[in-house]
Amino acid sequence: MFDILNDFKALLLTVDANISHYFGLSDGEPWQPYTVWTEYELDGLHGGDTYAEPVWRVLVERYTKTENDAVVLAMMEKLETAPGVTFQYSLRRNQELGMLYHAWDCEVASGTV
């Protein structure tokens, strides 16, 4: 069942080679946009102690100050066409920091990602 996450990570790396797991990588100056992914729930059909059809819930987040960020556009395209992946997209802004927060709340099912 962790193969699903490994395949999804590989898919995300095709969009942003600098994506990080759990924590962002923009601590230095000058500030740089960054992408983070975090799996937060395992669901699906299961019986006893095994999952017959595991589905991972994964949050992919992009922090940027650019309105037409190339990674955001590429991520949207990649997730829309990825087999076994569904998602809800949201956009928020922090006016004080001048930052845009893009989030894809994904369900990643077994099979080819």
Reading the block at residue 66, the tokens are 């650019």
**In which band, very low, low, confident or very high, does the pLDDT at 21 lie, cut at 50, 70 and 90?**
very high
Q: Which of these ranges, 23-27, 38-42, 57-61, 99-103, has the smallest mean pLDDT?
A: 23-27
The class level of CATH for 2-109 reads alpha beta
What is the average pLDDT across 30-59? 85
Phi, psi for residue 79 in degrees, rounded to 5 = -70, -35
- How far apart are alpha carbons 89 and 99 in whole angstroms? 17
Which pLDDT belongs to residue 44? 75
Query: For the stretch 65-93, what's the b/e string if a residue is b when 16 or more beta carbons lie within 10 angstroms of its beta carbon?
Result: eeeebebbeebbebbeebebbebeeeeee
Summarised one tens digit per residue, pLDDT across range 46-98 is 677 776 678 999 999 999 999 999 999 999 999 999 999 999 999 999 999 89
**In sequence order, what are the beta bridge partners of 62?**
35, 102
